[in-house]
């Protein structure tokens, strides 16, 4: 009896967990996780690592560690590539996945570009049966055993973007049940993500306000959406507020040091029925710009000219202010 009960619980737990991709408070910091078309959008190479501890205080709650490296060939923002390593845990189950990534970017106009990306990957699901609580305490048949299953995965998506606007959408687990020679593909359900946002710039105040939204769908789970309002000052400090439908509210903040090293933290508090059993979720990310393009002579000249014009305008404004006061 204990053996049948344990196997049933283990398989149900693994299946349910495997079908649901991770949730992030700040989905824009983890946009590479949501869309393979992000690789190559910037003229830098980025390495980052993030950790999410969900539902603190809830026994055996989900946790996630993810590491990414992505950029473009010669930082030209045309051929993007990357790699991701993800480890998710929930109770006695663990999911480890490695993804490779390629994206190609096209110019649609003077300011608008389109990126198309694909992300193949390999998954391994493990259930630590030796850590399970047996229905019959005397049943030691499964002691020391591990249930393991493998799957091939594939994600694809697009990213339509400019300096002010972005619209991206992606599909995950698109291979699903079509792969027959693995032991876990039949448990992968189609996932869809869509993200849209706009940058409102206040140049004189060195401030950017960015409203954005994320929608997620995975059958048979109802459609879920998140809305975020993020403010960035001097391209260094930022603060964001989040609402996730029927689930959580949150706040996140971050800082960029010397234009290369970034630290961010996010906290969200569950407003669903789980709020009485946990104290919220914590999330942290460290990122580093590994390689960065040197400005061309034309870009250096343009920057110098802009700085001269800004200085002249500043002096004109000060003179006009003095004249008004007199």
- Domain residue limits at 78: 2-197+255-290
**Any residues with CB less than 8 A from the CB of 101 and at least 6 apart, and which?**
32, 36, 39, 70, 80, 81, 82, 83, 84, 117, 118, 119
pLDDT digits (tens, 9 = 90+) for 217-252: 987 788 889 999 999 999 999 999 999 988 889 999
Q: Is residue 219 part of a domain?
A: no
pLDDT at 202: 92
In terms of pTM, does the model score above 0.85? no
Based on the fold, state whether residues 188 and 304 are members of the same structural domain.
Answer: no
Based on the fold, state whether residues 176 and 301 are members of the same structural domain.
Answer: no
Q: Is residue 285 part of a domain?
A: yes
Based on the fold, state whether residues 308 and 262 are members of the same structural domain.
Answer: no
Concatenate the DSSP letters of all residues of 314-326 into one string. Answer: HHHHHHHHHHHH-
Based on the fold, state whether residues 7 and 153 are members of the same structural domain.
Answer: yes
> d(Cα 271, Cα 265) in Å, to the nearest integer?
20
Q: Is residue 177 part of a domain?
A: yes
Based on the fold, state whether residues 14 and 39 are members of the same structural domain.
Answer: yes
Closest to 239 measured CA to CA, from 229, 247, 225: 229
Instruction: State the CB neighbour count (10 A cutoff) for residue 253.
Output: 15
Q: What is the percent of the chain with per-residue pLDDT over 70, rounded to a whole number? A: 83
> d(Cα 266, Cα 248) in Å, to the nearest integer?
12
Based on the fold, state whether residues 319 and 261 are members of the same structural domain.
Answer: no
pLDDT digits (tens, 9 = 90+) for 261-317: 999 999 998 887 766 777 788 999 999 999 876 655 555 566 666 677 777 777 777
**Domains: count for the chain:** 2
More reliable by pLDDT, 144 or 21? 21
- Asked whether the beta carbons of 84 and 101 are under 8 A apart, the reply is yes
Based on the fold, state whether residues 53 and 182 are members of the same structural domain.
Answer: yes
pLDDT at 154 over 60: yes
Based on the fold, state whether residues 11 and 118 are members of the same structural domain.
Answer: yes
Based on the fold, state whether residues 271 and 307 are members of the same structural domain.
Answer: no
- Asked whether the beta carbons of 56 and 74 are under 8 A apart, the reply is no
Based on the fold, state whether residues 59 and 81 are members of the same structural domain.
Answer: yes
Q: Is residue 245 part of a domain?
A: no
> d(Cα 247, Cα 241) in Å, to the nearest integer?
14
Q: Is residue 228 part of a domain?
A: no
pLDDT at 134: 56
Based on the fold, state whether residues 175 and 138 are members of the same structural domain.
Answer: yes
Closest to 71 measured CA to CA, from 63, 81, 62: 81
Q: Is residue 207 part of a domain?
A: no
pLDDT at 200: 95
């Amino acid at each position: 009896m204990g053996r049948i009960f344990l196997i049933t619980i283990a398989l149900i737990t693994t299946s349910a967990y495997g079908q649901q991709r991770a949730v992030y408070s700040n989905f824009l910091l983890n946009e590479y996780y949501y869309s393979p078309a992000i690789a190559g959008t910037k003229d830098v190479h980025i390495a980052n690592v993030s950790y999410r501890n969900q539902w603190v205080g809830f026994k055996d709650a989900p946790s996630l560690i993810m590491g990414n490296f992505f950029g473009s060939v010669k930082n030209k923002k045309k051929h993007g590539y990357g790699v991701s390593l993800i480890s998710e845990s929930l109770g006695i189950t663990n999911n480890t996945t490695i993804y490779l990534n390629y994206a190609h970017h096209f110019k649609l106009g003077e300011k608008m570009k389109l990126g198309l990306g694909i992300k193949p990957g390999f998954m391994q699901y493990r259930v630590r049966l030796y850590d399970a609580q047996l229905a019959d305490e005397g049943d030691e048949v499964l002691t020391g055993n591990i249930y393991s299953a493998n799957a091939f995965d594939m994600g694809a998506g697009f990213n339509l973007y400019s300096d002010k606007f972005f619209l991206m959408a992606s599909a995950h687990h698109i291979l699903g049940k079509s792969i027959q020679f693995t032991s876990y593909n039949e448990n992968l359900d189609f996932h869809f993500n869509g993200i849209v946002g706009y940058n409102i710039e206040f140049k004189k105040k060195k401030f950017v306000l960015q409203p954005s939204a994320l929608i997620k769908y995975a059958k048979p789970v109802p459609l879920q959406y998140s809305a975020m309002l993020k403010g960035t000052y001097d391209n260094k400090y930022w603060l964001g507020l989040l609402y996730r439908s029927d689930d959580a509210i949150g706040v996140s903040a971050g800082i960029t040091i010397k234009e290369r090293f970034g630290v961010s933290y996010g906290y969200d508090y569950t407003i669903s029925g789980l709020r009485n059993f946990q104290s919220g979720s914590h999330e942290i990310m460290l990122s580093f710009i590994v390689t960065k393009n040197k400005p061309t002579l034309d870009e250096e000249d343009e920057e110098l000219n802009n700085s001269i014009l800004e200085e002249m305008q500043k002096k004109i404004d000060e003179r006009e202010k003095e004249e008004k006061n007199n």
